[in-house]
């Protein structure tokens, strides 16, 4: 208790000097805090800049990948369109060829039918023999 009384009495007797010391200590403490905060701020600023660089690099890479994928899929679509066109052309040509062949077969069928009809009107036995020969059957007397 005596110690506290002596401290208080020293402060009361030398209050101006104690005030100056307290003010100087306050300024020193605040200056230290400002320096510490400035260092922390600079460190945070450098981290933010590094993260921005990383983000920009990732965005650029993503953009490059997107562009490459677009080129690839555009090429694939063009290739597919060309293949579809080629298939359609081949299908059309084949259809035309089949149509021509069917028309030829129908013409031969009409000619054969006419010749059989003519033969049947002129000589029915000859018609029977012609049909038997056509289908590889025996029994033609002529």
- The whole-number pLDDT of residue 119 equals 66
Flag whether 142 is in a domain.
no
Domain-embedded: residue 5: no
Q: Is residue 59 part of a domain?
A: yes
Q: Does residue 4 sit within a domain?
A: no
| Domain membership flag for residue 67 | yes
Which H/E stretch holds residue 110? helix 15-122
* pLDDT 10s digits, 1-44: 888 888 888 888 888 888 999 999 999 999 999 999 999 999 99
Q: Determine the structural domain holding residue 91 and report its residue range.
A: 15-134
142 Cβ contact list (under 8 Å, min separation 6): 125, 126, 129
Count the domains in the chain: 1
pTM: 0.43
In tens, the pLDDT along 74-92 reads 999 999 999 999 999 999 9
């Amino acid at each position: 208790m005596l110690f506290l009384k002596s401290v208080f009495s020293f402060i009361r007797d030398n209050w101006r000097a104690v005030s100056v010391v307290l003010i100087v200590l306050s300024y020193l403490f605040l200056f230290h805090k400002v320096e510490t905060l400035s260092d922390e701020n600079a460190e945070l600023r450098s981290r933010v800049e590094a993260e921005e660089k990383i983000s920009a690099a990732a965005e650029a890479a993503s953009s490059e990948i997107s562009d490459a994928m677009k080129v690839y899929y555009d090429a694939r679509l063009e290739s597919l369109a060309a293949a579809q066109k080629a298939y359609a052309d081949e299908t059309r040509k084949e259809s035309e060829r089949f149509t021509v062949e069917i028309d030829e077969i129908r013409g031969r069928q009409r000619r054969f039918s006419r010749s059989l009809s003519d033969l049947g009107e002129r000589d029915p036995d000859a018609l029977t023999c012609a049909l038997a020969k056509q289908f590889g059957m025996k029994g033609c007397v002529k």
